[in-house]
Amino acid sequence: RDFWDTSVPTNATRGYWRPLLKVSHVLLYRLGGAQHWPFHLFHVLLHATASLLVTVWVRLRLRARFTAEAVEPAALVAGLVFALHPSRYESVGWASCSTDLLFSCFALTAAVAFERRARWGWLALLGAAFSKETVVVLPVLFAAEALLRGELRGRARWLLGACVAVTPPFVLRRVVGIGFPDSLVSVPPGAVVERVLGAVAGYHQRTLAPTQVTMLPWEAAQLEPGRFAVPSWALGVGAAAMLGWVLFTALAWRQPRVRPYFADALWWLLPLGPLFQVIPVPSPMLLSDRFLYLPVAGLAALLARGVAALAPRPQARRPVLLALGGLGLAATSLLLLALPAYRTNAAYFEREFSLHPGNSFVAECYARALSGAGHHRAAQRVYQTLLERPQPPHTRVMLVGLLALTYSHTLRDSQEPELKQLAAYFNGVAARELVDLVIGTQRWDLSPEAR
């Protein structure tokens, strides 16, 4: 089945086939029914495993160039950075993000195998391939590593095996009739450039300066599917970041001593490649923290290499440790303050709504959560507030429909005129001839584009 093949309508892009994730969700549901604890426990165990794998992977990467006294604390720093980075909040807490957790555990296992020249890494790549489509970047990453180390010829057999290991899911999905994502949208080239630069800026900011623990890390209002209102400063930051990567690449090409740092940094950049919004998809968000789950391993490795390089200098050791300890304490505090919101779906989105009251996507999620918890009048007020703002036509028609659903729960049998008005709206939906929603003296009109 399609990963997003659910019993309720969803705006998610179709064409994702992740059978390992589907199986895990089925098993966890059978274990605990509608309870959330099996999912949370599963995620915590996966996150702990991924953090340990980062520690081992970084230790293997560093030991060829640094002494054991320098490598051990640096590897520990890498594991802690990966474990406590504020972007972990969404990935570890949200059930659907098990796709990123499981994929990353397999990817990091393959990375450890690559360092040890072990062929069992191919099995890990196969597991990653059945977990998430982003697996296509991993052979590219390993080939770049081999090239930067001057080991491309000696690693050719391992790299060939890696390419073979990631192909079965892409063949089998054809056999079971799951096509590739096709619900893409068409936008002007200028919008593509704006979207790419905005995503590049946002992911750099969220990786290097994550000041907030939230599911909506960086706000950019959606104008229409595939188009966002990207602020001008973000366009400049995105262009500067891309220029910086070009210069970093040129420096690594000319300076062999820079190449290990560049190889670490590639683990941050390349896994985000498919998510830099080059191909437009009808997502309501420009970027998301969950996509940073594996790439932060690159940041952790890069930081650990710097710590190992400074370790022999006693005068630098104390300020570096104090700075890292302060950052770790701040990240831990941010996460601990946010975690109680996971007690219920409504509490989670209530917190997000308090952080981003002007964001339509978060407000819609909050209203849906309120309805799901039976608070239909509260959801009604949120939808009405949203409809008072200018909305893109596709958003407005959805919000009017959701508002109508809340009235189907709150109108009483004695309110016969209002019930007839509501019936007129739903009859229009059934006949594919949408009419304005009118309840009493209130009217929520639909533009011709919305209809």
417: left (phi over 0), alpha (psi -120 to 50) or beta: alpha
Number of helices and strands (H, E) in the chain?
19, 4
| Measured distance CA(203)–CA(286) in Å, rounded | 10
For the chain, how many residues are written? 451
For the question of whether the overall pTM of this predicted structure is more than 0.85, the answer is yes
Task: Quote the pLDDT of residue 9.
Answer: 61
The H or E element that residue 412 is part of is none
Task: Quote the pLDDT of residue 325.
Answer: 87
Q: How many CB atoms lie within 10 A of CB 12?
A: 17
For residue 399, what are the contacts with CB-CB under 8 A and spacing of at least 6? Answer: 364, 383, 386, 387, 391
| Measured distance CA(19)–CA(98) in Å, rounded | 12
Q: Is the dihedral of CA 332, 338, 343, 349 positive or negative?
A: negative
Reading the chain (451 residues) residue by residue, the pLDDT tens digits are 778 777 666 655 567 889 999 999 999 999 988 788 899 999 999 999 999 999 999 999 999 889 888 899 999 999 999 999 999 999 999 888 899 999 999 999 999 999 999 999 999 999 999 999 899 999 999 999 999 999 999 999 999 999 999 999 989 988 888 877 665 667 788 888 999 999 999 999 999 998 889 988 777 888 877 888 899 999 999 999 999 999 999 999 999 999 999 999 999 999 998 888 887 777 778 889 999 999 999 999 999 999 999 877 777 777 878 888 888 999 999 999 999 998 888 899 999 999 988 888 888 899 999 999 999 999 999 999 999 988 888 888 889 999 999 999 999 999 999 999 999 999 999 998 889 999 999 999 988 888 8
Q: Is the dihedral of CA 185, 190, 193, 198 positive or negative?
A: negative
Task: Quote the pLDDT of residue 322.
Answer: 84
| Measured distance CA(43)–CA(133) in Å, rounded | 20
Task: Quote the pLDDT of residue 174.
Answer: 85
Task: Quote the pLDDT of residue 321.
Answer: 80
Strand-pairing partners, residue 439, are: 442
For residue 309, what are the contacts with CB-CB under 8 A and spacing of at least 6? Answer: 66, 70
Task: Quote the pLDDT of residue 184.
Answer: 64
| Measured distance CA(55)–CA(300) in Å, rounded | 9
Q: What is the 3-state secondary structure (H, E, C) of 111-155?
A: HHHHHHCCCCHHHHHHHHHCCCHHHHHHHHHHHHHHHHCCCCCCC
Phi, psi of 444 (to 5 degrees): -120, 100
Question: End-to-end alpha-carbon separation of the chain, Å?
Answer: 32
For residue 409, what are the contacts with CB-CB under 8 A and spacing of at least 6? Answer: 371, 376
| Measured distance CA(442)–CA(420) in Å, rounded | 14
